[in-house]
Structure 1
């Protein structure tokens, strides 16, 4: 998600989390590429002084190098030097440092060096570092390292950190392709606990980011667990989705639900509010997620379906034509015609006059 990538970029250049908030309006993939390029430029353009310090550390025992790092360099500079060392040598020095110092340094390590160093550290040390990062609420740094950890280490860490820590670290993870395996390691009971934690702590954006990174049975299970929360908890998800513009992430989850669970979502109070429903329609128009949205629209209460119909009828000519073409492409007329029936005569006529509708039976 763009928010996570914007916050990572802000951290990289030493700004507060919202310091580069304007980046949130850009595609997350573009922001990530920008961040990676900036990180490479910052690390590759390091002064020669770092190379001299790194060369000097090779001449002394790891314990002495660790003492110098702690007393003379500090966490940021020590991380920069570690990035200039061979991974094995950096790991030897890290093993001699206090865990708290290493945890603080991790935030500044060249991300391209993480895998090689983590793979050479003692598993117990990696677990202790992760726990300290969680205690410090430095979930962004946790997210940088998660994808480079072996299953056994991840399992031990999951046992020692809380559900909200897992959600927040998952939100910032740099290797989202590892999230399906992490969910496997957690098991079904812990996954249910994560969903409840998301509701209790208001971490819906984080939970949706995790759900978007997995597929198949895992995504279905997250959708089912969420749909079966209490009404107020589920309503809070809809409100967060509306306020943060996350319908593109939520609607595919709703589309996975069976009829009973979909009805539970459709009955939610926020989905009776015109501004929320209009926001959903705008998001669907922008993303083309009609196949995901129309099954939900079909089970909304009558007054809510009328709001959706009016919002669709009020679209601009180009948007309305694109809607009908997408409906025709996906053969969704059986779902959309009941909405057309709820439009006023002007709205109906606009639909009937569109070229894409000409071959369709009138409602």
Structure 2
């Protein structure tokens, strides 16, 4: 699932580069390896930027000869955003920043759409935080999450902190999905940690669970615990929607490492939710866990789900599927049943071969 979603993100960015307004026109490419799609997009970008390198360097040299204010006026009135973006990578970064400070945010936003972050990282990193926030506001006014996602990994923390308040929770989710460098997600989470519950609620409200699960799939192991604990605190309807989406997308390989990293109290709260105390959920969980060999991750959740209030159908489902559960875990679940005074269930929680 994750590979498919990465491919969707790549075709979305490729559509922007090619001037295609409807990214779904490139759906025929989503079964290709995401790395291949990205390489094609980057090579196409290089062709576009490199075809007039000599001429662009001449324009950049001329920009050094006139005052910043005049360069800014020429950039806005004569060059336009596309040419400015092409020239940007050939100008001294400090000179480019000085010119940018004299340009209005809407024009800079139009330039940002055309920029290649691989060529202009030094310039972007030096843009003042407030100017970054102003440009971000302009981009989001037009719903441009693609450009935002392409530059997050080269924007320093002070600028990200300045820009974060102009983004809604839904914006954050869309931008995270389109990140050029998914390893940047952990840095972003550090900055917007208090907004993670809102982002998950936005996923429920906007039916964007695929994007949210892709986000969870991208986070580093050291962030799983606190994100899991925050998730366990959400309302039942959000948890229900999350678990339903996980079943539909077969995303247990993403969710189980999160639940496995939860604190004891958070895992108990999560395991006691209606969505988990459900035979259908248990059946899907066991099937997916077996397919992906995730028993080490599933173990804590299955164990925590068995309480004195666990419905009888859940126990019946465990018994029905007992031969699909590893013997050591099955023995532990039988012992858990005995502790809860469910001796009949404990007796039935043995492999069929052991009772034959």
Give the TM-score of the pair, scaled to structure 2: 0.74
Distance in 2, matches of 1:46 and 1:302, equals: 72
Provide the residue aligned with 1:120 in structure 2. 126
Q: Does 1:111 align with 2:117?
A: yes
State the Cα distance separating 1:234 from its structure 2 match.
Answer: 1.4
Is the Cα–Cα contact under 8 Å of residues 277 and 314 in structure 2 kept in the other structure? no
Provide the residue aligned with 2:293 in structure 1. 288
State the Cα distance separating 1:311 from its structure 2 match.
Answer: 8.7
Q: Does 1:91 align with 2:97?
A: yes
Residue 269 and residue 186 in structure 1: after superposition, are their counterparts in 2 closer, same or farther (change >3 A)? closer
State the Cα distance separating 1:116 from its structure 2 match.
Answer: 0.7
Provide the residue aligned with 2:212 in structure 1. 207
What is the 5 A alignment of 1:264-343? 264=272, 267-268=274-275, 272-273=279-280, 277-278=283-284, 283-284=288-289, 287-296=292-301, 299=305, 303=313, 332-335=326-329
Where do 5+ consecutive residues of structure 1 fail to align?
A: 314-323, 343-347, 353-360
Q: Does 1:263 align with 2:271?
A: yes
Q: Equivalent residue of 2:215, what SS?
A: helix
Distance in 1, matches of 2:96 and 2:186, equals: 30
Distance in 1, matches of 2:34 and 2:318, equals: 29
For these two proteins, the number of residue pairs brought into alignment is 328
Is the Cα–Cα contact under 8 Å of residues 91 and 117 in structure 1 kept in the other structure? yes
| Bigger Cα displacement from structure 2, 149-158 vs 102-111 | 149-158
State the Cα distance separating 1:117 from its structure 2 match.
Answer: 0.7
Is the Cα–Cα contact under 8 Å of residues 87 and 113 in structure 1 kept in the other structure? no
Is the Cα–Cα contact under 8 Å of residues 195 and 222 in structure 1 kept in the other structure? no
Distance in 1, matches of 2:216 and 2:244, equals: 18
State the Cα distance separating 1:289 from its structure 2 match.
Answer: 2.7
State the Cα distance separating 1:96 from its structure 2 match.
Answer: 2.2
Provide the residue aligned with 1:5 in structure 2. 10
State the Cα distance separating 1:106 from its structure 2 match.
Answer: 0.7
Where do 5+ consecutive residues of structure 2 fail to align?
A: 334-344, 346-350
Provide the residue aligned with 2:137 in structure 1. 131
Distance in 1, matches of 2:81 and 2:46, equals: 19
State the Cα distance separating 1:144 from its structure 2 match.
Answer: 1.7
Of structures 1 and 2, the one with the larger relative CO (CA 8 A, separation 6+) is 2
Q: Equivalent residue of 1:71, what SS?
A: helix
Provide the residue aligned with 2:253 in structure 1. 248
Distance in 2, matches of 1:126 and 1:103, equals: 9
Residue 362 and residue 103 in structure 1: after superposition, are their counterparts in 2 closer, same or farther (change >3 A)? farther
Is the Cα–Cα contact under 8 Å of residues 117 and 154 in structure 2 kept in the other structure? no
Q: Once the two structures are superposed, what CA deviation does each residue of 1:70-122 show, in whole Å capped at 9, x if it has no partner? A: 23333223212223333233323322222101112212101212321113323
Q: Equivalent residue of 1:21, what SS?
A: helix
Is the Cα–Cα contact under 8 Å of residues 5 and 32 in structure 1 kept in the other structure? yes
Give the TM-score of the pair, scaled to structure 1: 0.73
State the Cα distance separating 1:129 from its structure 2 match.
Answer: 1.1
Residue 78 and residue 231 in structure 1: after superposition, are their counterparts in 2 closer, same or farther (change >3 A)? same
